[in-house]
Amino acid sequence: MGGTDRIPFNRPHVVGEEFAYIQEAISQGKLSGNGVFADRCARWLERRTGASRAFMTPSCTAALEMSATLAGIEPGDEVIMPSFTFVSTANAFVGRGGVPVFVDVRPDTLSVSAAAVEAAVTPRTKAVVVVHYAGVGCEMDEIMAVARTHGLLVIEDAAHALLARYRGRELGGIAQLGTLSFHETKNIHCGEGGALLVNDPALVQRAEIVQEKGTNRARFFRGEVDKYTWVDTGSSHLTSEVATAFLWAQLERAEELTSGRLAIWEAYHEAFEPLEAEGLARRPVIPDEADHNGHMYHLLLPEAELQMPVIEALKRDGVHAVFHYVPLHSSPAGRRYGRANGELTVTDDVSARIVRLPLWYGLTDDEVERVIRGVVNAVTTVSPAARRPRAESPRPEAPHPGESGRAPLLDTTRTAR
């Protein structure tokens, strides 16, 4: 099935005001960074997250690179991070000579735990990067406590997590630094874009310099110095006014866009409960302390051998489903520039079994139903479990994170929200 009948994995939504705001930016005659629309976006993020300052960047990658500079990463410094993440999480620190130390993720949320972080600390550890996978918050209280004990700086890779919360606090606004993505696959987007949230006031002044290519240009424009000059390391980490004008239209409708995605997430979650009860797939797990943002919906299949057959079966039904990260610790660059701390069995396991479904604002009810039917058909056709007599044994309980190297197929942790 192809053409207009195909349901893509993602379709960037346009709310309608983007074009008017871009025209307004053009008419103002300033299209480089830190203009009127960049300021509006930054102030919105500060109000929402509680950050001391928000800096609009060309991407989340750029925000991570700024974080590496602000963390003072030098050659040989170790940075603890999950292996189950996008390459930018590691690249930002490798570029400054840092050594990624890859750790495993929890089998329920697929985010890193405080125990995994603490087990990886060495005398060379300088920082910790946590990734709020699918907009589900890591156990930040415990991770921050570990960081305080060892004198480490914590960076939140909150690329998935705008408008998601952990114990009532906005993700990205909890650690010393947070990074956001406005890539077209994200809930709120401008095609390509990002932001650095500086939550430690002591880092604000240097962040301003790092963003402006290592100069004190911002102080010059405020009239604090009569000339600006090169004072520190930095790069061009500015977003154009065209991009932030587009983004401002999206931020004005952020609550609506997030609610729409959450509604689709809930429809999937309810529809796939029977698959989980039959042992044919595991749905996402949302801990009580986390309020997610509907960024992503995934299923974990019972066996790695089913991942590509299920994806191919959905493709034949006109539904574009995808896998996710190839673990960084087993990648060529990951082995060259970093190291794994222990056996990352959960990461290896979930990477081979995960299937992500189309989820974007604007999916119609009919399209959601088509995805659901396609998934049920694919999973029940491909899975050997579907062809076996149903066991009468009681439903197994999920092991506590860390007790098992395999992400449980079924669990009794609360999943509905």
> CATH code at 344?
3.90.1150.10
CB atoms near residue 386 (< 10 Å):
15
Residues 209 and 104 both lie in one domain: yes
Q: Is 72 part of any domain?
A: yes
Domain end among 199, 232, 252: 252
pTM greater than 0.85: yes
Q: What is the pLDDT of residues 264-320, one digit of tens each?
A: 999 999 999 999 999 999 999 999 999 999 999 999 999 999 999 999 999 999 999
CA 250 – CA 24 distance, rounded (Å): 15
Quick one: tokens of 350? 């979930």
Domain tally for the chain?
2
Domain end among 220, 252, 284: 252
The answer to whether 290 touches 165, Cβ cutoff 8 Å, is yes
| Residue entry with tokens 């102080």 | 219
- pLDDT band per the 50, 70, 90 thresholds, residue 385: low
Strands 169-170 and 165-166, by their bridges, are antiparallel
376 three-state secondary structure: helix
Residues 211 and 149 both lie in one domain: yes
CA 5 – CA 318 distance, rounded (Å): 7
Residues 67 and 213 both lie in one domain: yes
Find the domain containing 352 and state its range. Answer: 254-387
Residues 243 and 368 both lie in one domain: no
Q: Is 1 part of any domain?
A: no
Residues 108 and 197 both lie in one domain: yes
- pLDDT band per the 50, 70, 90 thresholds, residue 399: very low
Four-point Cα dihedral 116, 176, 330, 139, nearest 10: 40
> CATH code at 41?
3.40.640.10
Q: What is the pLDDT of residues 68-102, one digit of tens each?
A: 999 999 999 999 999 999 999 999 999 999 999 99
CA 41 – CA 151 distance, rounded (Å): 32
Quick one: tokens of 112? 């890193």
